[in-house]
Structure 1
Amino acid sequence: IVISASHNPYEDNGIKIFRHGGLKLSDEQEEKIEARILGDENVSQEKLGKISMISDGLKLYSMFLLEKFPFKKLDPRLKIIIDASNGAASIISHLVFNDQLFDIQFIHDKPDGTNINDNCGSQHTDDLKAVVLKEKADIGLAFDGDADRLIAIDENGREITGDRILAICAKYAKEKNRLKNNIVVSTTMSNIGLGKALESLNIMHLKSDVGDRKVLEEMNRSGAIMGGEDSGHMIFLEDHTTGDGMLTALKLLEVMKGTGETLSSLASIMVVYPQVLMNVVVNASRPDFTKILPIAQTIARVEGQLSDKGRVLVRYSGTQPLLRVMVEGPDKDQTQAFCEEICNAIKENI
């Protein structure tokens, strides 16, 4: 059981439950647990579970991660700045990224219970960018509050998000004959540039619905061993059963060490297309917008103008009365205009 606000402020703390093997619960399992928690059932003493303390858990976990990578103490050390987001990474990152292996510096690694994700971490990288540039570091690593996401900063202070990290790791794995079944899984929200990069590498690209659990389902279905989201949530199934920012960071550092290339050079494998995402408030009836002619015609017209140089994705939010409109294209201003055009059609007709 994890108490976590993930990448959000501490006020959003909630309970995240994993089942045996480190896997997330299914919707059905979550609903059953929710019903029992909110219900009136009393649990008898003999049915209560037991809590076991693992006093050296952090040490064991850091060893579990590091034994997967051939880093040597005598190697030239990469200069790394780590933003622990005042969260779960604050202690474990000191064990994994120790100064015997790396030239390391930490920021936002002093949690006080309320400063988690507070203008720091993977959602707020300005501080990390500034320190990377000031210290002339090779890379910055930003984790979110529960350390399952990673966003990187290159040596020029530019943000490298999940899609490009996925492309970098996939290319390296293929070159080393480690990309089992030659498949990478991302979500429908991934940048169109990822698909084009994987196509250029002759790697099959499959897309799942949004969410790391959906990514994992598609990976298991297709036999893929690598998948993730642009948010920085990556899954490397041959190493772990779930997303882990520490593991993703080590994978990225392995590529940098193995190739001798800078992060900016590695990231050039993928061109990031301008992406505009807007939300339109709609009523709770959630009508089928594809059957509302003015909306459908506007979407079709934009898709026709973008052709194979962009795409449109319109979907309802899973938790709020919102219709989300995402447009990608080669030109930022044009992409913005297209997104606004679709949003206006929705506002006028729903």
Structure 2
Amino acid sequence: MKVRTFAALAVAVALAASGCGPATSYKYRIAVIPKGLTHEFWQSIHRGADRAAADLGKQGVAVEILWDGPAKENDSSEQIKLIETKAGMGINGLVLAPQDSLQMVKPVQQVVAKSIPVVIIDSGLDKEALAKNPDLIVKYVATDNYHGGQLAAERLLKVLNDAGIQDQKIVLFRYAAGSESTEQRENGFKDAIDKAIADPKPGGPTISWLSDNQYAGATVSDAEKTAGPLLSGFRDQEGVGIFAVNESAATGMLNSMKTLGLTKKFKYVGFDSSVQLLGAVRDGEVDGLVVQDPYKMGYIALWTLVHSLENYDVSEGGKTLSTGEYVVTRENLDDPKTKELISPELQPNRIIMPPEYKKH
């Protein structure tokens, strides 16, 4: 008997060591597919979704997250393949950040046709498609990107004004056509600048566009290839203020400004954060970053989707749920609220107040 007991124990130990022990029993399998995997923004969304799954588990609802995304943020075909693959794996729900607002409509329609509910994050689907079928998605959880663009314009004009610059020349460094979130930022920024141009203050500065038609592309390297020649074309100008609309565009522009020695000459505001960009804010090379709350975005998206599956009414407040946008400057960089937003180490300690949905 002792031999058998020892043998059984040995098998159990071996199975545990090889990861072949009893599998966790999940009530729901949720696929979370971002636009890409490399940016700190997406990693924060992943951490937020994981936190929501852990909190739901404490309530007796076990959730498995299937996290996967394209290697590049301009590879819509790869994202579509991932959607199709995950839908074929028997998932119970999908959280998706669409690379392209129009191209992702059909894949989402196909997923929903299989009775798999979808929550959209970060970038919206085509507005016309949603107007025809509002129930295509459960919820759209995102930053108010138009307002984020307005905040960027306000910050850039402020630092130009504070520097006493009377002839202000504005540069908008765009991201990519079809990316709904960044297009909204671009629109918010451009409308705010256009308003300032059309309604000048008595005795105030003259504001004009220097460039608003250049696109950074999907990677930092792509952004640098565009930013370098762009900056070289007006490096001798004075009073230049630049806005770059996402993490890769902002990083590529910053790198090019450093290469050309323009970080102290031009005023510069970016969107999103990373270790490098935050360091540049501290060093005075970036005059401000408009940051989102991706941790909360990932958390609320998963929380809402699972509550929908649990037969809660998640319709309160409409289809869109904003997670907020904030301006980070050298002055508030070390504020506790700022640190909670941008620090991976502090994010797990945050108190997230999710919507209080009611049972149907």
Please report the TM-score for the alignment, with normalisation by the length of structure 2: 0.26
Q: Which has the higher contact order (CA 8 A, sep 6+)?
A: 2
Please report the TM-score for the alignment, with normalisation by the length of structure 1: 0.26
Pair member with larger Rg: 2
Point out the structure with the larger helix share.
2
